[in-house]
Chain A
């Protein structure tokens, strides 16, 4: 993948809407996993595995997007669509139908909306005769619902891809977007990831061990990606650029995944033609300062120990969206030099991206 510039971006997190809220949360962060009380009596109506979560307070899809076309949106679709609107607004591109046809979407997810799929499936099993289910909800049960709704809402007729890769979905999605642009299938890619908080996801992240000492969170971050200088209608180049990306798999996790991640960082450095010494910040998906499952393999390739940013302490364990929020955090952090984003899944999937500069 050749370098892609980040024209603009936005994020929806427990800190609020927009890049400024991400920067403020990072500045004020206390060092504890944070989140707010979501336990009994907080409106979820079901038993929860933990009493705290990083959720978007008062996020109302209809208030954000109006009633038209949103009645069947599930929460993750709402988060993705609102985040894309914010990112597109920030990019301030002069769009017509022909240009919209050259804009694609690649959206990272774990399983789409777990609530939509599991509730729908449950309904088909427990409903009384004549076993009717709500057909309006059916479109939400497919994993690519959110990416499709983004395309419909904003008329983006380019490549539309949903990348189901859990913790690695965002890095995979950026790689996919970069290749899509490089091979001429789209001129601009709206790329990111989204994940909703529901009791279903809280239990999933609790039972798979993804949460650990963290609290479950929700959010979305979307980035407007394109070639440096192209297309002309997409505006002038900001500083921020994804220089290189590399993904790999260390079967079963453990030492093999350690080695695979070290290899990813080496390859990313090689592709970007930079040295490890130039990297001043590493952003990881780790759960706290004592968790070095990504930092150690990364520093093995970098040859030194740069500063480390742990966005999950500030925004929660947001599944696929954590990778995207990590890039937002890096762009918001006040760091000179290059940034490295790492990701690691429980199954041994790993990845790394090298990022330069700040976005406007």
Chain B
């Protein structure tokens, strides 16, 4: 049993998937001035806004998601009139910004609009079920795990694993409170990293059985999941390592087979060392070990869609034979010694088995293994 990815679409601060990958290869940074909320009050001045969400500060997560669903379903030839299609939407904060607007004296939003059922139905009518998975910054990875379960159990013909998040004032305020001086760039795995910044984004992977006619971009070997059961916000290398081990046990792949890691890499004080420790514990560390890259220096932390943005990048690495560098990384942190980070410029390399990491507050972890078709 297995599942494959028949389509993938993303929207980030750079645009769609192709534009995002080109920007990563070119070393671009998508950060700009924060447009929503008061930078002085929030102690945050920089954000990675996605143009596809439009100018309106409300319902941005919904618009980004709708664009991705339409594009990915189109590419994969998804037809809800002939196939049982389930849509899983992973998100950190759903449409919280609409509630914030209400709290500040604006209009009261309809409760059902805080989920994504209506926007998904509008672009893809006839789907059997639309489920929101609110699981912090690994939500997209959790959606991918559940998508593979549904396909392999035969409970659906097509599952759209989705992730989406836009900026919310509460999340910005929280990030502004945990740092003395606000970061102006995300620098994953760098010794002098200053913390995370938020990026708007959405991503969709179309998961289908291997025998479905149509395009195959990659093979989903497995997604391992775990909960740290350790701390509300601080990550635990043991819990992260368990998600990785779970992925290997489920897939039957060996850690030594992984030749590229698309890391979570948030540029925070705690994530990056913990992620490095877990990678060094589970993967063999050697001169020909797996390459490691990460995108958040370029795109910001896209929260609920982060795992699936990484999946799209991994698919493009496999298809194009080139791996983008970790943008923002100059001097590797101590805990990363021995890991083969791609820095400075893209590397010509065609990965066969990619590990994709996503970790969230609450210690919820999802690690995906993706094989070249």
Q: Are B250 and A179 in contact (CB-based, < 8 A)?
A: no
Q: Are A184 and B250 in contact (CB-based, < 8 A)?
A: yes
Instruction: Determine whether B153 belongs to the interface, using a CB cutoff of 8 Å to chain A.
Output: yes
Instruction: Determine whether A237 belongs to the interface, using a CB cutoff of 8 Å to chain B.
Output: no
Collect the chain B residues with CB atoms within 8 Å of residue A183's CB: 149, 152-153
**When chains A and B are docked, how far (Å) is the Cα of A182 from the Cα of B155?**
13
Q: Are A182 and B250 in contact (CB-based, < 8 A)?
A: no
CB distance from A152 to the nearest CB of B (A): 12
Collect the chain B residues with CB atoms within 8 Å of residue A182's CB: 153
Closest chain A residue to B229, Cβ basis: A157
Q: Which residues of B, 245-275, contact A by the 8 Å Cβ criterion?
A: 249-250
Contact with A along B142-156 (1 / 0, CB 8 A): 000000010011000
CB distance from A91 to the nearest CB of B (A): 24
**When chains A and B are docked, how far (Å) is the Cα of A179 from the Cα of B152?**
11
**When chains A and B are docked, how far (Å) is the Cα of A183 from the Cα of B152?**
9
Collect the chain B residues with CB atoms within 8 Å of residue A184's CB: 249-250
**When chains A and B are docked, how far (Å) is the Cα of A184 from the Cα of B246?**
10
**When chains A and B are docked, how far (Å) is the Cα of A23 from the Cα of B152?**
40
Closest chain A residue to B148, Cβ basis: A183
**When chains A and B are docked, how far (Å) is the Cα of A344 from the Cα of B269?**
53
CB distance from B207 to the nearest CB of A (A): 15
**When chains A and B are docked, how far (Å) is the Cα of A288 from the Cα of B149?**
40
**When chains A and B are docked, how far (Å) is the Cα of A183 from the Cα of B149?**
7
**When chains A and B are docked, how far (Å) is the Cα of A182 from the Cα of B149?**
10
**When chains A and B are docked, how far (Å) is the Cα of A114 from the Cα of B152?**
38
Collect the chain A residues with CB atoms within 8 Å of residue B149's CB: 179, 183
**When chains A and B are docked, how far (Å) is the Cα of A183 from the Cα of B153?**
8
**When chains A and B are docked, how far (Å) is the Cα of A183 from the Cα of B249?**
12
Collect the chain B residues with CB atoms within 8 Å of residue A179's CB: 149, 153
Contact with B along A324-342 (1 / 0, CB 8 A): 0000000000000000000
Q: Which residues of A, 166-187, contact B by the 8 Å Cβ criterion?
A: 179, 182-184
Contact with B along A171-208 (1 / 0, CB 8 A): 00000000100111000000000000000000000000
Closest chain B residue to A101, Cβ basis: B242
Contact with A along B136-171 (1 / 0, CB 8 A): 000000000000010011000000000000000000
CB distance from A151 to the nearest CB of B (A): 11
CB distance from A358 to the nearest CB of B (A): 29
CB distance from B128 to the nearest CB of A (A): 13
CB distance from B365 to the nearest CB of A (A): 14
**When chains A and B are docked, how far (Å) is the Cα of A183 from the Cα of B148?**
10
CB distance from A244 to the nearest CB of B (A): 13
Collect the chain A residues with CB atoms within 8 Å of residue B249's CB: 184
CB distance from A161 to the nearest CB of B (A): 13
CB distance from B226 to the nearest CB of A (A): 10
**When chains A and B are docked, how far (Å) is the Cα of A183 from the Cα of B250?**
9
What are 8 A-to-B residue pairs whose CB atoms are below 8 Å?
A179-B149, A179-B153, A182-B153, A183-B149, A183-B152, A183-B153, A184-B249, A184-B250
Q: Which B positions have Cβ atoms within 8 angstroms of A?
A: 149, 152-153, 249-250
Besides the contacts A179-B149, A183-B149, A184-B249, what 5 more A-B pairs have beta carbons closer than 8 Å? A179-B153, A182-B153, A183-B152, A183-B153, A184-B250
